Amino acid sequence: MGTVIPISNQDRYRSQPNNNSSRPLADQPTAEPHDGALLDAYSAAVIEVVDKISPTVVKIEVSHHIPRRRGNQREENISGSGSGVIFTPDGFILTNSHVVHKAAAISATLSDGRNFKASLIGDDPFTDLAVIRIDPAFGGAGMQNLPAAILGDSQAIRIGQLVIAIGNPFGFQATVTAGVVSALGRSLRSGGGRLIDNVIQTDAALNPGNSGGPLVNSRGEVIGINTAMIPWAQGICFSIPVNTAKFIAARLMKDGRITRACLGIGGQVLDIAKPALRAHQLTGSRGVMIASIEHGGAAEKAGSLEGDVIIDFNDTRVESIDDLHRLLTSDMIGREVHLTVLRMEKKIALVIVPEELPGQ
């Protein structure tokens, strides 16, 4: 019988075949996605969206007749421009109210270079939205089959998702910028003085002329209408959510305007004294003081007085003018509502019938 030679663990390891590599497993390189591949995927997504949405984006040009008293000149023509997005095949276009409000003339230039006169269907300064339409008389049969954008669902937006903005900043047609959704649920003060709720914040660059253009997701669906930027900041831009735009556009196409209720008052926010808060067991700390009352308006008819502090509207606590604006919807017009005010530290119940906000 021959001599048995012991084999060490190291020798046993070395004696086993290794078909993969001579290096230990810890030294094996890990598979990682190539940066170039990620960039290519990002670029491909943006390019696909741009190819899909660009034909629906229009350049809007407007002119305004401004009264002047300068020698024999009685008025001056001032021009401006913005963007819009076609959302029906027969030429209805969504844009911003501030782009077309009180315009004397409107024209729309399509992505293929064709330019047509357009008419204002209606605008709502309180949401900064408007609908215009390419005049079929100038477009002919071709206006019945225009490329139309798909309006998505702004409720499905998530912070951090890719977004693409297309517009005409400074007149440079069909300019594309991309970024992400930076925040949701922002509030933005409109030109009409009311807050626009649930505004989308994005870092996709916007400039003058982008107003009214679409904010689009990676599927090429419009999720917002670009409306504003903060000029002294970088990367802080805002879009009106498309769900708001769909509601407003439907009302404008049906009635040409948006109706809202009003109380016929001028108000200001006031801190309520702590003894009054405790005496009336009020939540919050503020109310809306009636600073002025319109003659013959709803508040005067209801017996309101200057100095009254509104604290409750139909069993809903009121702490700001924006609270009142949210409650004064069109279905409140002509309907009795209960208003609770503080008058000389006393709680007074009033019945008021809101009227339609004039100038709508």
Catalytic site positions: 98, 128, 211
Length of the chain counted residue by residue? 360
Is-contact 181 218, C-beta < 8 A? no
Please give the structure tokens belonging to residue 116. Answer: 């047509």
What is the CB neighbour count within 10 angstroms for residue 280? 15
Cα(148)–Cα(111) distance, rounded to whole angstroms? 12
Residue with tokens 């000029």: 231
Alpha helices in 57-195 (DSSP H): 97-100, 136-139
Phi and psi of 200, rounded to 5°?
Answer: -90, 130
What is the CB neighbour count within 10 angstroms for residue 218? 15
Alpha helices in the chain (DSSP H): 9-15, 35-53, 97-100, 136-139, 242-255, 274-279, 298-302, 321-327
Strands 221-229 and 150-151, bridge-based pairing: parallel
Cα(317)–Cα(67) distance, rounded to whole angstroms? 45
Please give the structure tokens belonging to residue 144. Answer: 């019945």
Cα(53)–Cα(221) distance, rounded to whole angstroms? 8
- Give first-to-last CA distance, the chain, whole Å: 112
Dihedral sign of CA atoms 32, 37, 43, 44 in order: negative
DSSP state of 240: E
